Structure 1
């Protein structure tokens, strides 16, 4: 057997072996990713579900302001340029991830009574078929679901820390108002809520990036 034939047979032998080796390498990489996700499940489903809902709520908050302005008549721009001192703070506080999650949960709770007041006021100002009332009602459900997911995520990530309780402290609501003040108050609540949800989405993205990067780094090392 000459050398050329030997080389050809050797190459024919190596081709399936190389293919098998490549397949094994791909399987090994997929396996390592699966193990990483299993070691840190918060990098997957719980956090991603919270992020997905936060994105939806953020879009709802933008549409809600547009619907609110359209339902208030010709003074909408003037109404939403005025300021009102009774709206909740939309800024997330805390330095550590657990502090920020707890702040997110508390702030979402703080908006509950204000949305209830806005809904009650708009019921007196709008017709029963108003799309604004339907959107306010739908937003209330999304807001509660997001608060529940944040609470569950907090407990999952930090099981040794106290579970956040629903906000039960005093909430400052505006005193009786005239129609113009009611409309200004409603727009201020919705604007502050939109800002809060944007902040929530940013903090959740940062949390996911940090958690997943840490998992990736530990796996590689």
Structure 2
């Protein structure tokens, strides 16, 4: 089991979901090179929508980790307590709001290839129609929407500042793994993503009082 979809003959019932997620994640990873169509929204409204969506994804990721553990067979708790290198960190970096919003966006982009790898590996390990695969697709769809919302928010607040590339480049995907390593890797990615989403929720609460207040004051001047 090498964890790559292109080398597997998948049952018809799982092919649409696999194709959907593959296309979605490729589009999301490439979205750093594109400019989404962003509607002009009030800063507070845009941040509140992003915060609401982040909370929802966080809740679904908590449920997803529970489903993941239940689907891995015996010793699933052991899988989820083992450490693993080369997984994006959960910390939001930067000193000012523009850097921290950009960090949220670039971190989301960094997680998507790893999330896609987990889906590919679990497609090989799970039965067709697995609840785990369905939930992975659902969280991925919402995460893609969140990335676009953060991109739009950044463009709206800082139109003259292009989104920077991730510091140090993207976190490399792991090499070929055995089944045990795949199960460990999947749990580490999901847990790290959950931790990141928790940090995003806290960050958005803080940002609302900073960037939106400043934006309102600037609009009043003009």
Q: Do Structure 1 and Structure 2 share a fold, with TM-score over 0.5?
A: yes
Contact preservation (8 Å) 2:110, 2:170: no
- Per the TM alignment, residue 209 of structure 1 is displaced from its structure 2 partner at its CA by 2.4
The residue aligned with 2:145 is 145
Contact preservation (8 Å) 2:64, 2:136: yes
The residue aligned with 2:114 is 114
In structure 1, runs of 5+ residues without a counterpart are: 1-39
- Per the TM alignment, residue 194 of structure 1 is displaced from its structure 2 partner at its CA by 0.4
Q: Which has the larger radius of gyration?
A: 1
Looking at structure 2, the residues matched to 163 and 170 of structure 1 have their Cα atoms a distance apart, in angstroms, of 15
- Per the TM alignment, residue 154 of structure 1 is displaced from its structure 2 partner at its CA by 0.4
Count of aligned pairs between the two proteins: 178
The residue aligned with 1:6 is none
CA distance 1:100–1:78, shift in 2 (3 Å): same
**Richer in helix (by share):** 1
| CA deviation vs aligned residue, 1:150-181 (integer Å, no higher than 9, x gap) | 000001111121245799x5541111111111
The residue aligned with 2:204 is 204
CA RMSD, aligned part only?
2.3
Looking at structure 2, the residues matched to 139 and 147 of structure 1 have their Cα atoms a distance apart, in angstroms, of 12
The answer to whether structure 1 residue 194 and structure 2 residue 189 are counterparts is no
In structure 2, runs of 5+ residues without a counterpart are: 1-40
The residue aligned with 2:7 is none
Secondary structure of 1:74's match?
Answer: coil
Looking at structure 1, the residues matched to 213 and 64 of structure 2 have their Cα atoms a distance apart, in angstroms, of 35
| CA deviation vs aligned residue, 1:93-146 (integer Å, no higher than 9, x gap) | 001000000000000000111011100100111001211000111111111111
